[in-house]
Structure 1
Amino acid sequence: MKFALVIFVLYAADCLAQSKNIVELAEELGATTLVSYVKAAGLESALKGNGPFTVFGPTNAAFEALPAAVKDKLTKDKDLLKKVLEFHVASGKAYSSQLSNNMMVQSLDSTLSIRVNIYQKESKQVVTVDGAEVVMVDQNATNGVIHVIDKVMFPLPSEDIPKTVAATPNLSTLLYAVAQGQLAGPLAGSGPFTLFAPNNAAFDKLPPGALSDLLSNQTALVAVLKYHVVVACDYSAGLSSGSVQTLEGKSVTIAVTADGVTVDNAKVVTADIPTSNGVIHEIDTVLLPPK
């Protein structure tokens, strides 16, 4: 009898949850900051409409983690706020079972798509959207479904890896090396790729004359550059300690600890820079393939 009562209570709770629309359910799930921003952006009535919608909803902690200047900008710039929120919503109802690795989901802004990645880490499956980890899936509403995520996603220009490198001032030496190695074309391909990108300071750490020697030897240059590329889209949430094969053929060793992520002897200083064909992690040391 007690078991039957528990089943009934769970069933009733599920039915009650499904009687709420997207906005009401988000509030019930504790995403109160998201709801307040939805109201401020004038999107409340739309997200209470028929839909259906798939919402990737950031937690309160995700919004709280944003820099103060960014939060201030979102509060003051309604158009930007609306664009950011629309980037978290897709038309239609997509459950977690319908998501696949490297899937591109068109957001409400028809010019922007959300990249889905699915990783197997030990016995756990990790799902990310533009690098944000999905921490709760398949929350049913009357007009769609909510997947709760741990970061706020930002609608960035959909540029490929070489163009993203070109737009990043502290990667200018890498950009020149990629051009000299004639790898801009391949790295602009469909991929997906993960680029561990040495910043200018990393190249400055090389021994005197090492960079000029490298730039004058295209075979060696291409080998070194390919050693920084993995043929997969590995956001930080999908990285785990171990060896990963590079485009050059040899493997790099990744270590994920409480202090951050290292690749061989290089430290990741800026993670999860999104591109249209993968992701970039900025590192502080140039990686050299084993001889």
Structure 2
Amino acid sequence: RVAAFAIGCVLSLAVAYPNLDYLGNESFALRFFNSVPGRPDDFGRSLHTIETLTGALPESGEKPSGRRNNLLEVAKRLNLTKLVEAVTKVGLHHVLNHEGPFTLFAPTNEAFDNVPGYCSDVPLLDIVKYHVALGAHKKMEFKNNVQLNTLLVGRRVRVNIYPNTKEITASGRSVSSPDNRASNGILHVLSGVMCALYKGNAAFELQRCPSFGILNSFINMTDLYNALNADGPFTVFAPTDSAFAKLSPDLVNDLKNNLTALKEVLLYHVVPDVWYAAGLSPGQLKTLQGQKLTVDVNTGAITINDANVVLPDATVGNGVVHAIDTVLLPKLADGAGAPFKPSVLLV
């Protein structure tokens, strides 16, 4: 099983939470790298990684096949040189030159330059395979939450359509230029690189990330594991351990002693449907608990109630997880806005 999501949690949260003692622990990371398919002896340190890309196209030494406007030719015409370089380095140029049909989700050069840190630890071969979906899928054929099988066996790209923000996303990355036709498929230009090479659903993947130890223990205490591992789709706003540390010890004890209230609090962090960052706009989202969350988006920064999203867009099998730095607490039964007390929580 691939652990890109768990690795991303560790590496990205290291910036926001430098005091956590497990962050940067190489032995921890290697345990997850052991499960990365393709080059097991490299423990995730494939010869080719995103950071090795220069944008210079290597000479293939091969004669042109005579078939024009294949996916790689279209990518070259659009100046997606780092993508073409990546495809060539991992040896998939022979496939994209003439086989198919495929849908190529093609990140821009700028997207490759601005990848999240954890992308550098994912073998480039896996990343490239994940960007090639089987079959030719035009923009007009996309439906919200459709999942497309890719060359990376067992991993699917989730497509979402957000009318409010006029965005179409592929595993959370915005489609900036759709429907570039090729002789062997369709190319959609992406504003970002998709590095979430996951397989499990929300509860399963959260259990693999130690940043969410307290959340995971509460999920198990309230028997919500199976619910969060169901088909969904869901959006989970997941408080880190540091978020729970902000709560008073008395409040945490109250929650532990009132599992009904604790379950309500956890369900207040889960929203039906898949809401990537690109699809979020100022407004409200109704939770599985029944009450609504207030969303604010300001120059790329996203807040949910009074919580900051510190790690957005962690794709999981049944939706997406956003790490947040503050626990979200439902309104009280009397609506008075007093400090949270489980005894007066709406249940």
TM-score, scaled relative to structure 1: 0.87
- The equivalent residue for 1:83 is 126
1:83/1:155 contact within 8 Å kept: no
1:51, CA displacement in angstroms? 1.7
2:119/2:195 contact within 8 Å kept: no
CA distance in 1, matches of 2:116, 2:263: 38
- The equivalent residue for 1:258 is 299
1:219-259 CA-partner distances (Å, limit 9, x unpaired)? 11111111100011111111111011010101010001015
Structure 2 stretches lacking a partner, 5+ long: 1-66, 333-347
Residues 1:147 and 2:188 are matched in the alignment:
yes
CA distance in 2, matches of 1:69, 1:186: 28
CA distance in 1, matches of 2:300, 2:102: 38
- The equivalent residue for 1:97 is 140
Tell me which of 220, 238, 242 is aligned to 2:283. Answer: 242
Aligned length: 266
1:40-68 CA-partner distances (Å, limit 9, x unpaired)? 11111211114221100010011011257
Cα root mean square deviation, aligned:
1.6
CA distance in 2, matches of 1:157, 1:244: 26
2:130/2:197 contact within 8 Å kept: no
Tell me which of 172, 180, 188 is aligned to 1:131. Answer: 172
Residues 1:119 and 2:168 are matched in the alignment:
no
1:161/1:278 contact within 8 Å kept: yes
Greater displacement, 265-274 / 111-120? 111-120
Change (3 A) 1:188 1:95: same
Residues 1:229 and 2:278 are matched in the alignment:
no
Give the secondary structure class of the aligned counterpart of 2:321.
strand
CA distance in 1, matches of 2:118, 2:298: 29
Matched to 1:217, the amino acid is: N
Give the secondary structure class of the aligned counterpart of 2:174.
strand
CA distance in 1, matches of 2:297, 2:277: 9
Greater displacement, 39-48 / 269-278? 39-48
Tell me which of 328, 334, 338 is aligned to 1:287. Answer: 328
CA distance in 2, matches of 1:81, 1:201: 32
- Sequence identity, in percent? 39
1:148, CA displacement in angstroms? 0.4
Matched to 1:22, the amino acid is: L
Residues 1:36 and 2:59 are matched in the alignment:
no
1:265, CA displacement in angstroms? 0.6
Change (3 A) 1:67 1:98: closer
1:195/1:229 contact within 8 Å kept: yes
2:72/2:93 contact within 8 Å kept: yes
Give the secondary structure class of the aligned counterpart of 2:285.
strand
Give the secondary structure class of the aligned counterpart of 1:135.
strand
CA distance in 1, matches of 2:269, 2:212: 14
Change (3 A) 1:285 1:89: same
- The equivalent residue for 2:229 is 188
Residues 1:207 and 2:248 are matched in the alignment:
yes
- The equivalent residue for 1:110 is 153
1:22/1:143 contact within 8 Å kept: yes
Change (3 A) 1:68 1:105: closer
1:141-178 CA-partner distances (Å, limit 9, x unpaired)? 11111000111112523111111111111100000111
1:7-58 CA-partner distances (Å, limit 9, x unpaired)? xxxxxxxxxxx95111111011121110111111111121111422110001
Give the secondary structure class of the aligned counterpart of 2:163.
strand
Matched to 2:149, the amino acid is: Q
Give the secondary structure class of the aligned counterpart of 1:93.
coil
Change (3 A) 1:92 1:69: closer
2:198/2:315 contact within 8 Å kept: no
